[in-house]
Amino acid sequence: MRHEDVGRRGTPGTTTGEVRGNALWGGGRRTLAVTLAALLVVAVALVAGRVQVAEASDADAYVSPGLLAEAAASPDGLFDVIVQARKGKKTDDVADEVTKVQKDEPGTGSKLKRKFISIAGTSATLTGKQLLKLADRSEIDSITRDSKVELTAYTNTQLWPQSAGVDTNWLSVPASLTYPAIAVVDSGVTPSLPTLSPRVIGSVNLKTYAGTSGAYGHGSLVASIAAGAAEDYTSAEPRAKIVSVKVLDGAGQGYKSDIIAACDWILQNKSTYNIRVANFSLNAGGESFRYDALDKAVESLWLNGVVVVVAAGNYAVEGAQSNVGYAPANDPFVITVGASDIANTASRADDFAAPWSAWGYTQDGFFKPEVAAPGRRMNGAVPNSANLLTQYPDRVVAPGYMWMSGTSFAAPVVSGIAASILADHPSWTPNQVKGAIMEKAVAPTGYASNGALGVGVVNGGGAAVEASGLANPNAGLNQFVSLNSATGRYEFDGNLWYTVASYDPAWNAASWSSASWSSASWSSASWSSASWSSASWSSASWSSASWANASWANTTDIE
> For the residues of 184-208, what is the DSSP string, one character each?
EEES---TT-TTTTT-EEEEEE---
- Residue 532 phi/psi, 5-degree rounding, is -145, 130
Rg, C-alpha atoms of the chain = 22
DSSP 225: H
Burial class (CB in 10 A: 0-12, 13-18, 19+), 390: exposed
Amino acid symbol at 182: I
- Domain 160-469 sits in CATH 3.40.50.300: no
- Residue 269 phi/psi, 5-degree rounding, is -120, 5
Separation of alpha carbons 199 and 542, rounded Å: 45
CA angle 315, 317, 320 (to 5 degrees): 110
Amino acid symbol at 17: G
- Tens-digit pLDDT string for the chain (559 aa): 322 223 344 433 333 332 323 222 223 333 333 444 433 333 223 333 322 222 233 348 899 988 999 999 999 999 999 999 999 999 999 999 999 999 999 999 999 999 999 999 999 999 999 999 999 999 999 999 998 775 433 233 458 888 888 888 887 888 889 999 999 999 999 999 999 999 999 999 999 988 777 788 999 999 999 999 898 899 999 999 999 999 998 878 889 999 999 999 999 999 999 999 999 999 888 889 999 999 999 999 999 999 999 999 999 999 999 999 999 999 999 999 999 999 989 899 999 999 999 999 999 999 999 999 999 999 999 999 999 999 999 999 999 999 999 999 999 999 999 999 999 999 999 999 999 999 999 999 999 878 999 999 999 988 888 888 988 999 999 999 999 888 888 999 999 999 998 888 888 877 766 666 666 766 555 566 667 765 555 443 443 333 432 322 223 345 6
Domain ranges, ordered by start, for the chain: 160-469
Tally of CB atoms within 10 A around 88 = 9
Separation of alpha carbons 163 and 171, rounded Å: 16
Helix, strand, coil percentages, rounded to 5, for the chain = 30, 20, 50
Q: How far apart are the first and last CA of the chain?
A: 26
Separation of alpha carbons 79 and 188, rounded Å: 27
C-alpha distances (whole Å) from 356 to each of 194, 294, 309, 452 are 32, 24, 19, 10
Q: Which residues lie across from 284 on neighbouring strands?
A: 327
C-alpha distances (whole Å) from 534 to each of 91, 190, 507, 552 are 34, 45, 10, 29
Separation of alpha carbons 311 and 327, rounded Å: 10
Q: Residue 109: which residues within 8 A CB-CB, separation 6 or more?
A: 78, 125, 127
Q: Which residues lie across from 115 on neighbouring strands?
A: 122
DSSP 179: P
Q: Name the residues annotated as catalytic.
A: 186, 218, 408
Do 324 and 186 form a contact (C-beta atoms < 8 A)? Answer: no
The pLDDT assigned to 513 comes to 66
Which H helix or E strand runs over 98? helix 91-104
DSSP 518: G
